Amino acid sequence: MTTPTNYVPGLAGIPATESSISYIDGQAGILEYRGIPIEELAEKSTFEETAYLLLYGKLPSQSELDGFRERLSARRALPDRLIETLRLLPGAGHPMLGLQVGVAILGMHSQRVNLRDPESMENAAIKILGSVPSLVAAVERARTGLDFVQPKDGMDTAEAFLWMMSGEDPAPVAVRALDAALILHAEHTMNASTFTSRVVASSESDPYSVCAAAIGTLKGPLHGGANERVLDQLEAIGEVENVRPWVEERLSHKGKVMGFGHRVYKTKDPRSNILQDLGNRVFEELGGTPMYELALELERVMDEKVGHKGICPNVDFFSGLLYQKLGIPTDLFTPIFAIARVSGYMAHWLEQMPDNRIFRPTQVYTGAREASYVPMSERD
């Protein structure tokens, strides 16, 4: 096999798989799950129905949806020993690391998955999807020294998570907003963490390892971790009149403004528009935030300075403002992203495994050849 030399940094524009799960048009600002526009799903669907759509490739009938919701709900309780183990983790550590650990321990408490048996695979995907909200809540409770709040029957993911995180019944507007935010974050073609998930899956590793590895990638500030950095950034800017000089200073040394830019979108990310509307609805009911004015000014100044280069708000720009209003601590923003995105990882896993080939790309070697070993006494 000859080695191709056309190395593309970041594999930009290189197809890594064929997939029928989601579709993006980055110029037109279109995102579809199984062909259905994200705007329609955010308005009319629920996270459970959307997760079903991603996993099974079609919208469920009422009885299929009811059965799926029951199966997810039944997976929410965590083994006592897992909760005890989470209590041993350092409280100051990032909850994304806690979630990674939690998903791996969940795998240790689970039956071995048979990759030749679709039912065994489906059960594992549902177990992960049902348990991840509980794991995030358990990590949060453990680090603050509080007892795990047991899930209640009949609650869907958004409500169950807010309940298990706080031990209080959440406001309906909060549940609806989080549910829609989960829909928006569920899947996004061959992003860095989904690519990670596919690489791990390709070695026929188990789905817990697949998700734990992908969660590690999602944590990074260039990917899902940007949402918490956006709030840090707004806090650092402080006042609306500081926005322009802050942006000018940042861009003058090629610094990145968090919550802007995307490998594929060269217009405003459609999810960002929907999150902005969701935020506005929540602010109307639960009260506004001065940070929103700052964010709008940041968007205006960025549009003026770099909008022509296609550097526009991405999904992470408005999500933090919304989550903050829902009483969610800043470093749980990315774990919430993970609650949604494991549905995408598992949809890719189910799609990939029946026709899998191990990922083993090549490299363009730039080092020395046929060098001699130099004994220690002769080295400089």
Chain centre to alpha carbon of residue 201:
18
Q: Please, what is the minimum distance in Å from the beta carbon of residue 21 to ligand ACO?
A: 16
Residue 206 annotated among the catalytic residues of the structure: no
Query: Does 179 interact with ligand ACO (rule: CB under 6 A)?
Result: no
Nearer to ligand ACO, 32 or 159 (CB): 32
Q: Please, what is the minimum distance in Å from the beta carbon of residue 345 to ligand ACO?
A: 14
**Which residue, chain included where needed, has tokens 């083993």?**
360
Nearer to ligand ACO, 8 or 364 (CB): 8
Nearer to ligand ACO, 244 or 256 (CB): 256
Among 156, 179, 269, 316, the one annotated catalytic: 316
Q: Please, what is the minimum distance in Å from the beta carbon of residue 260 to ligand ACO?
A: 4
Site stretch for ligand ACO (CB under 6 A), options 13-21, 25-33, 149-157, 308-316: 308-316
DSSP 266: S
What is the C-alpha separation between 114 and 12, in angstroms, rounded?
34
Among 262, 269, 277, 331, the one annotated catalytic: 262
**Which residue, chain included where needed, has tokens 């220690």?**
376
Q: Where are the alpha helices (DSSP H) in 1-145?
A: 38-44, 47-56, 62-74, 80-87, 95-108, 118-143
Nearer to ligand ACO, 262 or 325 (CB): 262
Q: Please, what is the minimum distance in Å from the beta carbon of residue 247 to ligand ACO?
A: 9
Q: Which of 109, 176, 223, 281 binds ligand ACO (CB under 6 A)?
A: 223
Nearer to ligand ACO, 36 or 264 (CB): 264
Nearer to ligand ACO, 94 or 223 (CB): 223
Q: Please, what is the minimum distance in Å from the beta carbon of residue 306 to ligand ACO?
A: 6
Tally helices (H) and strands (E) across the chain.
16, 3
Q: What is the DSSP string of 117-185?
A: -HHHHHHHHHHHHHHHHHHHHHHHHHHTTPPPPPPPTT--HHHHHHHHHHSSPPPHHHHHHHHHHHHHH
Residue 262 annotated among the catalytic residues of the structure: yes
Question: How crowded is residue 187: how many other Cβ atoms within 10 Å of its Cβ?
Answer: 27
What is the C-alpha separation between 41 and 343, in angstroms, rounded?
15
Binding string, 234-273, against ligand ACO, x = CB under 6 A? --------------------x-xxxxxxxx----------
Beta partners for residue 31, in sequence order: 24
What is the C-alpha separation between 266 and 29, in angstroms, rounded?
8
Q: Please, what is the minimum distance in Å from the beta carbon of residue 291 to ligand ACO?
A: 17
Q: Which residues of 27-51 are buried (b: 16+ CB within 10 A; e: fewer)?
A: eebebbbbebebbebbeebbbbbbb
Nearer to ligand ACO, 45 or 194 (CB): 194
Site stretch for ligand ACO (CB under 6 A), options 92-100, 305-313, 346-354, 369-377: 305-313
- Tell me, by CB under 6 A, how many residues bind ligand ACO: 21
Site stretch for ligand ACO (CB under 6 A), options 113-121, 169-177, 310-318, 321-329: 310-318
Q: Report the residue number whose CB is nearest to ligand ACO.
A: 261
First to last CA, the chain: 39
Q: Please, what is the minimum distance in Å from the beta carbon of residue 317 to ligand ACO?
A: 7
What is the C-alpha separation between 231 and 295, in angstroms, rounded?
9
Q: Are 185 and 341 in contact (CB under 8 A)?
A: yes
Q: Which of 213, 311, 321, 336 binds ligand ACO (CB under 6 A)?
A: 311
Site for ligand ACO in 4-63 (CB under 6 A): 10
DSSP 254: T
Q: What is the DSSP string of 334-346?
A: HHHHHHHHHHHHH
Nearer to ligand ACO, 106 or 301 (CB): 301
Q: Please, what is the minimum distance in Å from the beta carbon of residue 224 to ligand ACO?
A: 5
3 state SS of 360: coil
Take residue 248 and report the two structure tokens written for it. Answer: 């000018």
Any idea which residues carry the catalytic annotation? 262, 316
- In the complex, the residues that contact ligand ACO under the rule CB under 6 A are 10, 191, 222-224, 226, 254, 256-263, 306, 309, 311, 314-316
